[in-house]
Amino acid sequence: MKHIIDCWVPRRLAALAWLGCAATLAAADAPVRYQALPTNTLVRIQGTSTAHDWEMKGAIIGGFVEFEAGVQFDTAQAAIAGLKDGKLSATAHATIPIRSIHSEADHLPDVMDNLMQEAMKEPQFKRIEYRVTELKLKEPHAPGKPFEFDAKGELTIAGVTNKVAFPVAIQPVGKDQIKISGAAPVKMSDYGVKPPAPNFGLGLMRCGDDVKIIFDWTLARKNP
Amino acid sequence: MSSNEETTEFNRREFLKNTSRAAFMAMMGGVELRAAAAAPGAAAEDSLTPIPPPAPVNYGVIGAGVWGREIITTLAQFKDPVTQAPIAPVVAVCDHYPGWLNRAGELAPKAERLDDYQKLLGKKEVQAVVVATPTPRHRDIVLAALQAGKHVYCEAPLANSIEEAKEIARAAQAAFKLVFQAGLLERSHPQRHFLWPFLRAGALGRNVMVRAQWHKKGSWARTAPTEDRTKELNWRLRRAESTGLMGECCIHLLDAVTWFLGGPLLGGRPSSVAGVSSTILWNDGRDVPDTVLCVFEFPEGPNAGVRFICDASLCSSFDAQYEMYYGSDSSILVRESKAWMFKEVDSPLLGWEVYARKDSFGAETGVSLVANASKQKALTEGAIGASPFPNSPLYYALEAFTWNSSKVSAAVQDYVENFSDADTPDFRAHVASERKATLAQHPAAGWREGLEATVLAVKANEAALSRRRVALEEELFEL
């Protein structure tokens, strides 16, 4: 009986050690996933009109960003560990609920909210969505500054998807968070969104077709 | 078509024209559209443009008496300005008395008729409930409704005791994902929000005194086919269940006046109330008086020395309901959705009153404080013209509740879909931020205002019944 126990204990320990090593290796190979946080996130939509520039704001960007295993953001370094041919292998999906974007105008902001929601065909299309297809690092990177990329991806507004490209910056925040910032220029008519043209002032009043979606998006590493 | 229907039904062309014009004005950034911020006489039509909420709100109405049925009728007026689809559909009504339940069901034919409020609260499709039952039943129903995850509109007073009102307030405070609205109608009335900033800017001079009255001739007694039902119907005539005239009728006046005088933060919360009461006409065995008079005093501060006299009677209907704010430079009469200013001969010239419409009251001349009350309007409409706010106070209160419930629900749903439903400080902060934004557009009384007014009403009733002065210590109002 003692012999059986003597043999069984080391075998079991060996099996546990092997499982531990396998798990560690698997973790090392697993992609690094960052999940959207509800704090320190701001999205602004800025536009023009023949009368006045306007802006709407929201605090929700949902979704995630997933990088290939081994990617580390250390702004003290000249480059990013895990970079291949100057590009980061990444998957990203960002969603912005349209009704969470509000005007902060002093007067009747709900009118502006409603106009915008109507133009973007909410509630049929509830979200603005963005998926990244390529992240190319702008080099050289100045140590201490955020990493800057040329991002390519697909932007969906009011059910219409277009390929877009615009610069983004990734800044590590503390040990386990990153902040992604950028500004996406958007032509409303490209998405079937008719720029509001209020029936006022002999029809001279018109919103500009070009708007800018400016965002600061904070994400936290999942199970760091 | 009723006058209310005329004001709420728009065709698409009118809707788009109005929203477009309002959007232009908003983008201009500096043109006052909202009557609340405009000088008397300014145009107010744009503030009436109906903007639908993010999504309709399904209602359950608990209590199908006269007021409950009025609520159902009012909710039916809210329709999408483009599609005419109901914005506040009543999907369930509840009353344990079959006669009332049937009458309510006729007003809301698509609503399920239920005889137990727990059954109504168990309906997943019910998103918001209106509690229009006798006051003593509010506590249990409101607590159960909040527990069931429903937005709650509770008629005022919240309860017939301060302890029960505090239980409701605590539960409403804890339910951060829900809207709780106390049925204090003036808090949502656009005329009040037009008037208050103007009055607070100093048009009155020094506050001197406030008088308010609620007069309506009628016994309050009601008859029913059975003795039990008659007893049940007449709960307001019994002290043990009723907060009397101060609670059941004057609570809206108590709320409006103390709000105007600054509320708890600016010296507008009274420090004591004294009262007298008597049964003059309806001496039918009731132990709730038919005539009551209370005098509220205020602590040291901006209202030191000011007395607020509030009286109510079921014996005389003369002059119905009004508030009179007396100041050293002018006095203001507020009646229904209109107001007039009566200036002292030595008061400074404000400027705009030259262009405002004037109405005669016996030997006095009142400057109209209704939005749009210009001389030009007076020429076309005659004296004492129509109010720019033609709907009932209940309409505006339920409008605020519907819109706020819809917006808070949308904020909760958006957050949960993108993050999680865990109760975190971030979640609470997000909902609080959205709640604040929507309340700025659709102001309404919450649990705090409901508790304040209920404490004042309960204590005023106590003072009137005991015919003595009752101190209003701060702890009465604290949770």
Whether the CB of A218 is below 8 Å from some CB of chain B: the reply is no
> Do B194 and B158 have their domain in common?
no
What are A213's two structure tokens? 């979606």
> Do B217 and B102 have their domain in common?
no
> Do B221 and B285 have their domain in common?
yes
- Residue type at A21? C
Q: Which residues of chain B have pLDDT under 50?
A: 1-49, 383
pLDDT at B349: 79
CA distance A42 to chain B (A): 12
pLDDT at B20: 39
Write down the domain spans for chain A: 1-30, 31-221
Interface contact B418-A63, CB threshold 8 A: yes
> Do B211 and B302 have their domain in common?
yes
> Do B330 and B287 have their domain in common?
yes
Whether the CB of A133 is below 8 Å from some CB of chain B: the reply is no
d(CA A64, CA B412): 20
Q: How many helices (H) and strands (E) does chain A have?
A: 2, 12
* Angle, alpha carbons A158-A163-A168 (nearest 5°): 100
Residue B158 belongs to a domain: yes
d(CA B439, CA B436): 5
More confident residue, B227 or A26: B227
pLDDT at B380: 57
Could you tell me the CATH number of the domain that includes residue B160?
A: 3.40.50.720
Residue B453 belongs to a domain: no
Interface contact A97-B418, CB threshold 8 A: yes
pLDDT at B403: 96
The count of structural domains within chain B is 2
Residue B467 belongs to a domain: no
**CATH level 3 topology of A31-221:** Lipocalin (2.40.128)
Q: Give, for B172, the enclosing helix (H) or strand (E).
A: helix B162-174
Residues with Cβ within 8 Å of residue B381, at least 6 apart in sequence: none
pLDDT at B241: 96
* Residue matched to tokens 């580390």: A72
Contacts of A111 in chain B (CB under 8 A): 19, 22-23, 26, 49, 51
> Do B173 and B277 have their domain in common?
no
DSSP-derived 3-state class of residue B182: strand
Alpha helices in chain A (DSSP H): 2-29, 109-119
Whether the CB of B163 is below 8 Å from some CB of chain A: the reply is no
CA distance A167 to chain B (A): 24
Interface contact A123-B55, CB threshold 8 A: yes
What are the distances in angstroms from CA A76 to CA A179, A213, B109, B422? 16, 29, 69, 36
CA nearest B424 in A: which residue? A38
Could you tell me the CATH number of the domain that includes residue B213?
A: 3.30.360.10
Contacts of B17 in chain A (CB under 8 A): 199
> Which structural domain range is residue B35 located in?
3-185+393-447
Condensed to tens digits (0 to 9), the pLDDT of residues A49-74 reads 887 888 999 999 999 999 988 888 88
- Which of residues B381, B402, B419 is at a domain's end? B381
Cα B311–chain centre separation: 19
d(CA A167, CA A169): 7
Pairing between strand B307-313 and B207-215? Answer: parallel
More confident residue, A81 or A101: A101
Pairing between strand B112-114 and B90-94? Answer: parallel
Residue B358 belongs to a domain: yes
Interface test with A, best of B25, B27, B442 (most A CBs within 10 A): B27
**Per DSSP, what are the bridge partners of residue A57?**
A44, A102
* Angle, alpha carbons A71-A75-A76 (nearest 5°): 115
> Do B167 and B197 have their domain in common?
no
CA nearest A104 in B: which residue? B437
> Do B338 and B196 have their domain in common?
yes
Q: How many other CB atoms sit within 10 Å of the CB of residue A70? A: 13
CA distance B33 to chain A (A): 7
Interface test with A, best of B24, B80, B428 (most A CBs within 10 A): B24
| A163 pLDDT higher than 90 | yes
The backbone torsions φ and ψ at residue A65, rounded to the nearest 5 degrees and listed phi first, read -135, 135
**b/e code A47-68 from CB counts within 10 Å (16+ = b):** bbbebbebebebbbbbbebbbb
- Using CB atoms and an 8 Å cut-off, which of residues 51-70 of chain B contact chain A? 51-52, 54-55
Interface contact B23-A112, CB threshold 8 A: yes
d(CA B396, CA B187): 9
Contacts of A105 in chain B (CB under 8 A): 26-27, 29
Edge-to-edge order in the sheet of strand B112-114: B112-114, B90-94, B59-62, B128-131, B151-155, B180-183
What are the distances in angstroms from CA A165 to CA A87, A131, A132, A151, A212? 15, 11, 9, 6, 13
Interface contact B418-A196, CB threshold 8 A: no
Interface contact A109-B16, CB threshold 8 A: no
Q: What percent of chain A has pLDDT over 70?
A: 83
Residue B229 belongs to a domain: yes
Q: What is the mean pLDDT of chain A?
A: 85
pLDDT at B401: 98
pLDDT at B347: 86
Q: Give, for B71, the enclosing helix (H) or strand (E).
A: helix B66-75
More confident residue, A186 or B11: A186
pLDDT at A93: 97
| A21 pLDDT higher than 60 | no
| Cα first-last separation, chain B | 47
B399: burial class by Cβ within 10 Å (0-12, 13-18, 19+)? buried
pLDDT at B50: 62
Edge-to-edge order in the sheet of strand B364-368: B358-361, B364-368, B338-343, B330-335, B321-327, B207-215, B307-313, B291-297, B272-278, B469-471
DSSP-derived 3-state class of residue A223: coil
> Do B350 and B400 have their domain in common?
no
Whether the CB of B80 is below 8 Å from some CB of chain A: the reply is no
More confident residue, A194 or B293: B293
> Do B20 and B71 have their domain in common?
yes
The pLDDT confidence band at residue A26, using thresholds 50, 70 and 90, is very low
> Do B372 and B260 have their domain in common?
yes
- Residue type at A79? A
Picking from B168, B267, B187, the residue whose alpha carbon sits closest to that of residue B479 is B168
Phi-psi sector, B49: left (phi>0), alpha (psi -120 to 50), beta:
beta
What are B410's two structure tokens? 């949308």
Contacts of B28 in chain A (CB under 8 A): 51-52
Residues with Cβ within 8 Å of residue B14, at least 6 apart in sequence: none
d(CA B150, CA B31): 39
Residue B260 belongs to a domain: yes
> Do B192 and B340 have their domain in common?
yes
Residue B326 belongs to a domain: yes
DSSP-derived 3-state class of residue B102: helix
d(CA A72, CA A80): 6
- Using CB atoms and an 8 Å cut-off, which of residues 8-37 of chain B contact chain A? 16-17, 19-29, 31-34, 37
Contacts of B419 in chain A (CB under 8 A): 36-38, 62
Q: How many other CB atoms sit within 10 Å of the CB of residue B124? A: 8
